Amino acid sequence: MNTLMQNVAFTIVEADSTNPLSNVISDYVAGEQFQNDKWSTTVRLAADCNTSEEWKESYELAENDQAQRREWAGELIKRTKAGKVVASKAFPKTWNTDKVIIGKAMDNEVDLLDDEGNPKPKTALQQEYKDKVEEGKEDKTAFEKIMTTINTYGALYAQLDADEQETVKVFIGAIHTS
């Protein structure tokens, strides 16, 4: 969201116009405001956590509470064998995305709040942690790249059948003789 858009406030009016499209626009305005409020509230609650691990504990407790309440009302909530809620099946995609964005920001030591103490917009927070990840990356040496490839090779080689393993051995041998 660009800086101009985040400072715009809309007035929510009741959808009772004789113009049906006007009523739909009212729904959009209300939905937009509701989305912003959910994000801001979530970020403020996450900002109370000191680490991403603490954030994870917090949202897992909340998800379990939410799931239990819905189960008491008769809804079937998908859980793992260990009883953990499968959030991707139980909650809206927006919730699952938001909690991950916040966690990644915390993992990369990005402040969730701006200098005035307001929650940063979602896209700004994402860009900030992506930039931090990129700046922290170092180019791997040729040796490091080969070692990564060898580790992958070792993990995949055992999954090949005997004919495929022989083919791979021929190719590997050719690399060392050229």
- Residue 7: what pLDDT? 47
Q: What is the pLDDT of residues 101-150, one digit of tens each?
A: 999 999 999 999 999 999 999 999 999 999 988 886 777 788 888 888 88
Q: What is the pTM of this model?
A: 0.62
Q: Where are the domains of the chain?
A: 3-136, 142-177
Q: What is the pLDDT of residues 74-111, one digit of tens each?
A: 999 999 999 999 988 988 888 999 999 999 999 999 99
Q: What is the 3-state secondary structure (H, E, C) of the chain?
A: CCHHHHCCCCCCCCCCCCCHHHHHHHHHHHHHHHHHHHHHHHHHHHHCCCCHHHHHHHHHHHHHHHHHHHHHCCCCCCECCCCCECHHHHCCHHHHHHHHHHHHHHHCCCCCECCCCCECCHHHHHHHHHHHHHHHCCCCCHHHHHHHHHHHHHHHHCCCCHHHHHHHHHHHHHHHHC
- Residue 98: what pLDDT? 92
